[in-house]
């Protein structure tokens, strides 16, 4: 029978044929709908909402539980390591998370990602940048810019970013990610709070004036089809953690913007174990 039982203040064990042998201490369940019905259909859905355990840092997200459901029927079993995220975070003196930088082409995503990485590095924090352009040179080189391929690009980067965060690293993903639902799907992969969406709110007019790669010009002349902001949509976030605004004639420097993000991380406790 699927059981999540409390065996001490921060300790749970989940014994079951799924082979999720032992979610021992330090696992936080933050308002999560933990389903046991896939294990014993007759059993009622268990809902655990243990908001008080927010001091505990590794969390099972609802999405993870659903993924487990999906893999159970395929003889794929989660193998648990004796070294967990928590242990890696202690070693690194930081908390793993994903900083997701979204915005139009030319809005300054890569520039911000570099400034942020540099700022955190100089504070002794381990970061890694997943830049859309760069990842499309390798892992995602098979993908185009049509909506389905962008969705797949974002999904893969979301999954990789999640692994980096699990490694205890502050992962900075900078990609246009124009569709809200694709970004939200990446957010859903992460424990609550660990997905920090940063919107570079820069008018198209300014991005187009910058046009460092000449792509807007090509898009305007019809040489690039489906270019974000010109002939393909960009859906701005509605409820993101940080908005960094720039206007024509009023640009904030990348270092100042990076400091805003670093202050957020500091305030939320991500820069300590
Ligand atoms: N059609 C079209 N639309 C938008 N962007 C295009 C397109 N074709 C090529 N490029 C270049 O690809 C970079 C965007 O890649 P991303 O992986 O970030 O895009 S997405 O998240 O999948 O939408 C983007 O890089 P940035 O300018 O750094 O954003 C462009 O240089
Ligand atoms: N905060 C800023 N102020 C002024 N110019 C900027 C700023 N951030 C980026 N830029 C410039 O804008 C252009 C596009 O920046 P980039 O980081 O490549 O954008 P993206 O990755 O979103 O396409 C570059 O020429 C860069 O130097």
Distance CA 196, CA 47 (A): 26
Rounded average pLDDT over 14-40: 32
Q: Three-state secondary structure along 79-134?
A: CCCCCCHHHHHHHHCCCCEEEEEECCCCCCHHHHHHHHHHHHHCCCCCEEEEEHHH
Q: Is the pLDDT of residue 133 over 70?
A: yes
Q: Which atom of ligand 2 is found nearest the CA of 212?
A: 25
- Residue 74: predicted pLDDT: 82
pTM of the entire predicted model: 0.81
Distance CA 34, CA 238 (A): 28
Q: Report the separation in Å between the CA atom of 272 and the middle of ligand 2, taken as the mean of its atom positions.
A: 30
Q: Report the separation in Å between the CA atom of 133 and the middle of ligand 1, taken as the mean of its atom positions.
A: 7
Would you say 221 and 92 are in contact if contact means Cβ atoms under 8 Å apart? no
Q: Please count the CA atoms within 13 angstroms of the CA of 122 that sit on its side-chain side.
A: 9
Q: Report the separation in Å between the CA atom of 42 and the middle of ligand 1, taken as the mean of its atom positions.
A: 48
- Phi and psi at residue 3, to the nearest 5°: -135, 135
Distance of CA 96 to the CA centre of its chain: 10
Q: Which atom of ligand 1 is found nearest the CA of 150?
A: 22
Q: Report the separation in Å between the CA atom of 24 and the middle of ligand 2, taken as the mean of its atom positions.
A: 45
Give, using CA atoms, the residue closest to atom 13 of ligand 1: 133
Distance CA 270, CA 89 (A): 10
Ligand nearest to the CA of 103: 2
Q: In the predicted model, what is the mean pLDDT of the chain?
A: 81
Name residues whose C-beta falls within 8 Å of residue 21's C-beta, 6 or more positions apart in sequence. 15, 80
Name residues whose C-beta falls within 8 Å of residue 266's C-beta, 6 or more positions apart in sequence. none
Domains of the chain plus CATH, in order, are 3-74 (no CATH), 85-268 (3.40.50.300)
Q: Which atom of ligand 1 is found nearest the CA of 143?
A: 22
Distance CA 140, CA 256 (A): 31
Q: Which of 32-46, 79-93, 147-161 has the lowest mean pLDDT?
A: 32-46
Rounded average pLDDT over 164-192: 98
Q: Is the pLDDT of residue 126 over 80?
A: yes
**Residue 110 Cβ < 6 Å to ligand 2:** yes
Q: Report the separation in Å between the CA atom of 100 and the middle of ligand 2, taken as the mean of its atom positions.
A: 16
- Residue 7: predicted pLDDT: 30
State yes or no: is 122 an active-site residue: no
Rounded average pLDDT over 215-223: 98
Ligand nearest to the CA of 173: 1
Give, using CA atoms, the residue closest to atom 8 of ligand 2: 108
Ligand nearest to the CA of 200: 2
Q: Model confidence at 63, in pLDDT bands (50, 70, 90)?
A: low
Give, using CA atoms, the residue closest to atom 12 of ligand 1: 133
Rounded average pLDDT over 127-134: 98
Q: Model confidence at 68, in pLDDT bands (50, 70, 90)?
A: low
Pairing of strands 97-102, 127-131: unpaired
Ligand nearest to the CA of 212: 2
Predicted ipTM? 0.99
Q: Report the separation in Å between the CA atom of 105 and the middle of ligand 2, taken as the mean of its atom positions.
A: 9
Q: Which atom of ligand 2 is found nearest the CA of 246?
A: 1
Name residues whose C-beta falls within 8 Å of residue 74's C-beta, 6 or more positions apart in sequence. none
Q: For a substitution probing ligand 2, which of 145, 201, 210 has the most ligand atoms within 8 Å of its CB?
A: 210
Give, using CA atoms, the residue closest to atom 24 of ligand 1: 105
Would you say 34 and 4 are in contact if contact means Cβ atoms under 8 Å apart? yes
Catalytic residue, chosen from 177, 221, 253, 263, is 177
Q: Around Cβ 86, how many Cβ atoms within 10 Å?
A: 19
């Amino acid at each position: 029978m699927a059981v999540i039982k409390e065996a001490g203040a921060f300790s749970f064990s989940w014994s079951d044929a799924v082979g999720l042998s032992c979610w021992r201490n330090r696992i936080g369940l933050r308002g999560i709908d933990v389903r046991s019905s896939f294990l014993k259909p007759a059993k009622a859905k268990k809902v655990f909402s243990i908001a008080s355990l927010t001091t505990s840092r590794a969390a099972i997200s609802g999405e993870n539980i659903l993924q487990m459901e999906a893999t159970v029927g395929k003889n794929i079993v989660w193998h648990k390591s004796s070294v967990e995220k928590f242990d890696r975070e202690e070693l690194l003196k930081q908390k793993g998370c994903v900083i997701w930088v979204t915005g139009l082409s030319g809005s300054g995503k890569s520039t911000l990602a570099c400034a942020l990485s540099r700022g955190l590095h100089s504070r002794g924090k381990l970061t890694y940048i997943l830049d859309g352009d760069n990842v499309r040179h390798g892992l995602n080189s098979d993908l185009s810019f049509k909506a389905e391929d962008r969705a797949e690009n974002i999904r893969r980067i979301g999954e990789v970013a999640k692994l980096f965060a699990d490694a205890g690293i502050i992962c900075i993903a900078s990609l246009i990610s124009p569709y809200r639902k694709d970004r939200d799907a990446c957010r859903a992969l992460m424990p609550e709070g660990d997905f920090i969406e940063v919107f570079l709110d820069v008018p198209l007019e300014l991005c187009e004036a910058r046009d460092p790669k000449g792509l807007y010009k090509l898009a305007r002349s019809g040489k690039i089809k489906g270019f974000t902001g010109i002939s393909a949509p960009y859906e701005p976030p509605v409820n993101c953690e940080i908005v960094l605004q720039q206007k024509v004639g009023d640009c904030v420097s990348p270092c100042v913007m990076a400091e805003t993000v670093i202050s957020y991380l500091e305030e939320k406790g991500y820069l300590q174990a």
